[in-house]
């Protein structure tokens, strides 16, 4: 059974999206590391900072206790990154139809605490932090003054603290830059590396989780915390949950689940995000897209009624006065070199220049690669798209699991 034909069964959303007719968007381009470094550190001209940014490749050290544990569970690491559990092709096939238990050690968490935390973050991010509570997580982007996304966070509350989940490859520069804006606010930002996350997905994931720990959120993006374990319900082709907890608690829960679900590595979880149409930002694509280009407003990551934040005027103008020329699509490509975030996409109606950019790509259970890409609407509608060059492998567009708003002015 092809992965793109799997039924998509998230819990009913309390505010279903209206049917859209569009496939929409503007051509983002990959940004070189030196430019990214100067953007993240505008006041710093030290070449060592630029060099440190250039060296970031997602290989940040995994929590040592978790690393030892996950290796004892059969994880195969290359450097510091978990690649698979010995049978990568089989693990991908199980993810398409069965129950999987996913290591998420390529994710990181920033803890924000202090009396001014909510107001501070609300003035920095694209979503309304006043709507974030212990029962609800949310996506949000942090944008440049030009409205381009530096990073996409998943936000959650644990007690009085707010946690910002992001790719580990963006942790260091994001944390450093975010601290620059704290000034006199009563906010402390720090790497919450004592907490670990893992995911569980599959037709029986909710039952498996409830049997093991006694609870699982019912609503999409719902959160529940008991005994220091936070469970978050995520969209996906099957019921899907993420667990965040102290390392020892995660190890214990993993042990109780591993006989009921196949262990898989972060790339498989990223493939499930692709299937769900959830955008991501990586070092290669930081500042490439405004939120609407990556469908972030459709998946609940932008609030247009909240107050100001960096880039808010650009984002609002695009929503109410502009017309998107690009949107994010789901696609498949057969064979060839593995696509990477930031890779260019070409089309005949944009001769000599790119017509789109890969957001993320992962091996498909059916061979080839599945990916999300921001593409010119006109190019997508014309139907002829090539990866990497004008004569590169041809892309096949697949459906997204949600409706896309029209690329016209929103009244």
pLDDT, tens digit, 9 for 90 and up, residues 59-70 = 345 789 999 999
SS3 174: helix
Structure confidence at residue 404 (pLDDT): 85
Q: What domains does the chain contain, in order, with CATH numbers?
A: 3-28+280-398 (2.40.30.160), 33-276 (3.30.1360.120)
- What percent of the chain lies above the pLDDT cut of 70? 83
Q: Is the pTM of this model over 0.95?
A: no
Residue 6 has pLDDT above 80, yes or no: no
Of 33-37, 48-52, 399-403, which range is least confident? 48-52
DSSP class of residue 259? T
DSSP class of residue 139? E
Q: Would you say 167 and 58 are in contact if contact means Cβ atoms under 8 Å apart? A: yes
Q: Would you say 203 and 262 are in contact if contact means Cβ atoms under 8 Å apart? A: no
Span 195-241, pLDDT tens digits = 999 999 999 999 999 999 999 999 999 999 999 999 999 999 999 99
Using CA atoms of 385, 391, 394, 400 in order, give the dihedral in degrees to the nearest 10.
-30
Which is it for strands 195-201 and 100-103: parallel, antiparallel or unpaired?
antiparallel
Structure confidence at residue 184 (pLDDT): 94
Structure confidence at residue 411 (pLDDT): 29
Structure confidence at residue 10 (pLDDT): 37
Structure confidence at residue 61 (pLDDT): 52
Q: Would you say 233 and 241 are in contact if contact means Cβ atoms under 8 Å apart? A: yes
Q: Which of 297, 358, 364 is nearest to 332 (CA)?
A: 364
Q: Which two tokens stand for residue 189?
A: 């930002």
58 pLDDT band (50/70/90 cuts)?
A: very low
Q: Would you say 243 and 230 are in contact if contact means Cβ atoms under 8 Å apart? A: yes
> Using CA atoms, how far apart are residues 53 and 36, in angstroms rounded to an integer?
8
Helix (H) or strand (E) holding 344: strand 344-346
Q: Would you say 366 and 3 are in contact if contact means Cβ atoms under 8 Å apart? A: yes
Q: Which residues pair with 162 in a beta bridge?
A: 112, 157
Place of tokens 């690393």: 67
């Amino acid at each position: 059974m092809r992965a793109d034909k799997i039924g998509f069964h998230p819990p009913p959303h309390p505010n279903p999206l209206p049917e859209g007719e569009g496939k929409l968007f503007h051509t983002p381009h990959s940004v070189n590391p030196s430019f990214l470094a100067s953007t993240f550190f505008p006041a710093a001209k030290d070449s060592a900072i630029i060099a440190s940014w250039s060296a970031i490749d997602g290989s940040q050290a995994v929590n040592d206790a978790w690393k030892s544990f996950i290796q004892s569970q059969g994880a195969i690491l290359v450097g510091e990154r978990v690649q698979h559990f010995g049978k990568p092709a089989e693990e991908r096939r199980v993810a398409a139809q069965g129950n999987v238990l996913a290591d998420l050690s390529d994710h990181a968490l920033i803890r924000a605490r202090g009396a001014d935390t909510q107001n501070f973050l609300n003035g920095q991010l694209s979503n309304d932090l006043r709507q974030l509570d212990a029962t609800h997580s949310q996506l949000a982007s942090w944008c440049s003054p030009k409205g381009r996304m530096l990073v996409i966070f998943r936000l959650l509350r644990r007690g009085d603290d707010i946690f910002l989940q992001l790719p580990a490859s963006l942790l260091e520069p994001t944390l450093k830059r975010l601290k620059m804006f704290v000034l006199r606010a009563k906010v402390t930002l720090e790497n919450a590396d004592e907490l670990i996350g893992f995911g569980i997905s599959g037709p029986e994931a909710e039952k498996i989780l409830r049997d093991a720990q006694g609870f699982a959120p019912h609503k999409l993006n719902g959160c529940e915390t008991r005994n220091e374990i936070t469970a978050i319900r995520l969209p996906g082709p099957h019921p899907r949950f993420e667990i965040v907890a102290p390392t020892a608690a995660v190890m214990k829960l993993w042990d109780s689940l591993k006989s009921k679900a196949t262990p898989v590595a972060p790339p498989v979880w990223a493939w499930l995000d692709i299937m769900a149409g959830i955008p991501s930002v990586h070092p290669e694509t930081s500042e490439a897209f405004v939120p609407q280009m990556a469908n972030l407003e459709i998946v609940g990551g932008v609030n247009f009624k909240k107050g100001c934040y960096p880039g808010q005027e650009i984002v609002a103008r695009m929503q109410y006065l502009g017309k998107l020329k690009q949107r994010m699509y789901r696609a498949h490509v057969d064979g060839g070199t593995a696509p990477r975030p930031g890779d260019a996409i070409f089309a005949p109606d944009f001769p000599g220049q790119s017509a789109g950019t890969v957001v993320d790509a992962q091996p498909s259970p059916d061979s080839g690669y599945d990916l999300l890409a921001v593409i010119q609407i006109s190019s997508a509608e014309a139907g002829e798209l090539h990866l990497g060059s004008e004569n590169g492998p041809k892309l096949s567009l697949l459906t997204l699991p949600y409706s896309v708003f029209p690329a016209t002015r929103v009244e």
